[in-house]
Amino acid sequence: MKIKLLMNLLIAVMVALVISSCLKTEDEKVYTAAEEIMLREAYLDTLAARGHDIDTLENEIYYVMMDDESEGDLAKAGDTLTIGYAGYFIDGVLFDSSELSSTNGKMTFILEHEEHRMIPGFETAMKVLNKGARAQFIIPSELAYGSSGSGRIPPYQTLIFVIKMYEIKPS
């Protein structure tokens, strides 16, 4: 009788674990388009209140230059870039970084290469960096993963990238 009770309890715990794993957690907050805009504006207001100089690129990509020790030409399509990056959700949760994704903490790729495209906002951001530059980019979801999201990126997520340009090899 004890074994049957123990087995039933074990099955009940397993079912509860399976059901709970299918539920969304607080960390997986899914926003609406309106909530995304509201959170992005609040984030930008916070940066401005801290004295950061916020610049804007096309399609409402915002950025803050973090280092003045850069040199040379800006990156352009076809150039081979070596960067370090960290990607965050607007609430500060890290979702990816070159430290986690590569052995040397850097990523090398060809900008706007037709076979290995990045999200549009990321590729646009590269074009304001030259060697040694470091910047924080605020990329709206419509230039990232949009209303559908992708993998660990939920829908309507403004993404924050801190990027350091290590090298630019012209095409």
pLDDT for residue 114: 86
Among the residue ranges 47-56, 68-77, 129-138, the one predicted with the least confidence is 68-77
65 or 12, which is more confident?
Answer: 65
CA separation for the pair 58, 134 (Å, rounded):
19
User: pLDDT tens across 5-50, in order?
Assistant: 434 443 443 433 334 344 444 456 789 999 999 999 999 999 999 9
Question: CA-CA-CA-CA torsion for 120, 33, 137, 122, nearest 10 degrees?
Answer: -10
- In terms of C-beta distances under 8 Å and separation of at least 24 residues, what long-range contacts does 150-154 make, across chains too? 152/95, 152/96, 153/95, 154/28, 154/29, 154/30, 154/31
- State pTM to two decimals: 0.81
Region 62-74: mean pLDDT is 90
* Contact of 124 with 61, CB cutoff 8 Å: yes
| C-alpha pair distances (Å), 168 with each of 22, 113, 154 | 44, 15, 32
